[in-house]
Amino acid sequence: MLSPGSISNLVECVRSAPRVIAIGAGTKPRLSRVATDVVRLSTLKLSGIVEYEPSEFTFTALAGTPLRDIAAALAEKGQYLPFDPMLAEAGATLGGTVAAGLSGPGRFRFGGLRDFILGVRFVDGEGRLLRLGGKVVKNAAGFDLPKFFVGSAGRFGALAEISFKVFPRAVTALTLRIEAGDAVAVGRILAEAANTRWELDALEAVPAERAVMTRLVGPAAAIEVLAKEILGRWPGAVLGEAEAAAFWRGTAEFAWAHPGGTLVKVAVTPADVPALLSLPAAHVRVSAGGNAGYVSLPGGAALPELRWPAVTLRGEAPLWPGAKPRFEIMRAVKSSLDPRSRFPNLDE
């Protein structure tokens, strides 16, 4: 394990080994479990916010910066990352979150991580320190290549520095628990709620409890009226503040998943919910209004066959189980940034 303490040191470390992969806090360990000849580069010493312009709603931080540090700095100015980054309390880093492409409940309303990334500074397979994108929202010249690093699992290069745009955080929030009779009803509620005028802040399904959780944010008077309208359409209740906070915190930290087991993220649609729920011996959650699913299995249990694109975050399953779409543009970017395959290949 190499632990570069500066960006220049990161460049040297990448150049020093024929095969390397950058890792953060290890909260999604399956992404970096590769061949034994690959040298690990820890980014944990590459930590800190480099620039933060609250008036411009942008910041730049080193790849190893813990998400909780970023959240605290943004909160002081009443701002936040609207895609609700996952595993912040577990110690997840900014670079690791980008590499995993992992977005939280806020993705439903505002878009995922890739919609907020502005620029990256990274070391490519030739050992060059490059910058793609910019540090401001108005920088829109050329191809939006920083988005290719979202979900790249460290296969394109070693991230050094990342720039994001942020939003002001709403003062008032309300969480509703909507009751669903069965798996089909869960999928139907997700689809119907997602296509209303309500502009829900988050829409998550807890299939094991046959319930759909939705979060409303905005002026207190407005969301109270909205809550009455929603509960007039489906049976349910308003959660207390403490109960709501515990639910969203547990969702962000995968508290519902099997400890020490396999955790897989799956790309689905609301129509796929019944089929997803039929997977044997699995705990399942449905996120982002039914457009992302998570499958958890206890340690030692084999992952059932998946028909959807998926990535394993923890456990012994293949890195890319299920359908494996590999667009030619991804291979072209890989070939351009890492022609010698210094970083693991897309299929490793």
Report helix, strand or coil for 274: helix
pLDDT band at residue 329 using 50, 70 and 90 as cut-offs: confident
Give the pLDDT confidence of 186-199 residue by residue, as tens digits. 989 999 999 998 99
DSSP state, 90? T
pLDDT band with cut points at 50, 70 and 90 for residue 322: confident
Over pLDDT 90: what percentage of the chain? 77
Q: What is the per-residue pLDDT across 59-87, written as a single tens digit (0 to 9) for each?
A: 999 999 999 999 999 999 999 999 999 99
pLDDT of res. 220: 92
More confident residue, 242 or 207: 242
Task: For residue range 42-66, list pLDDT tens digits in order.
Answer: 999 999 999 999 999 999 999 999 9
Tell me the mean pLDDT in the region 102-122.
95
Please state the pTM of the whole predicted model. 0.93
pLDDT of 142 reads 57
User: How would residue 151 be classed by pLDDT, with cut points 50, 70 and 90?
Assistant: very high
Query: For 217-238, what is the mean pLDDT?
Result: 95
Question: What are the φ/ψ torsions at residue 195 (nearest 5 degrees)?
Answer: -110, 30
pLDDT at 139 over 60: no
Instruction: Give the pLDDT mean for 186-214.
Output: 92
pLDDT attached to residue 278? 84
The dihedrals phi and psi of 202, each to the nearest 5 degrees, come to: -155, 150
Contacts of 207 (CB under 8 A, 6+ apart): 183, 186, 273, 277, 284, 285, 286
pLDDT tens profile 281-319? 788 999 999 999 999 999 888 998 899 999 999 998 999
Nearest 5 degrees, angle CA 345-CA 346-CA 347? Answer: 90
Read off the pLDDT of each residue in 108-133 and give the average, rounded to a whole number.
Answer: 94
Least confident of 26-35, 136-145, 335-344: 136-145
Q: How far apart are CA 232 and CA 270, in angstroms?
A: 22
Q: Per-residue pLDDT for 166 more than 70?
A: yes
Question: Is pLDDT of 144 > 80?
Answer: no
Q: State residue 277's pLDDT score.
A: 84
User: Mapping DSSP to helix (H, G, I), strand (E, B) and coil, where does residue 30 land?
Assistant: helix
Residue 129 has pLDDT above 80, yes or no: yes
- The pLDDT mean for the chain works out to 92
Model pLDDT, residue 330: 85
- CA–chain centroid gap for 280, Å, is 25
- Looking at residue 183, its pLDDT comes to 84
Question: Per residue in 247-269, pLDDT tens?
Answer: 999 999 999 999 989 999 999 98
State the pLDDT at residue 261: 94
- Would you place residue 138 in the very low, low, confident or very high pLDDT band (cuts 50, 70, 90)? low
Three-class HEC string of 252-264: HCCCCCCCCCEEE
Q: Which domains does the chain have, with CATH numbers?
A: 7-168 (3.30.465.10), 173-238 (3.30.70)
Distance CA 132, CA 114 (A): 14
Buried b vs exposed e over 58-97: b needs ≥16 C-beta within 10 Å?
A: bbbbbbbbbbbbbbebbeebebbbbbbbbbbebebbbbbb
Residues 6+ away with beta carbon under 8 Å from 129 = 7, 11, 121, 122, 123, 160
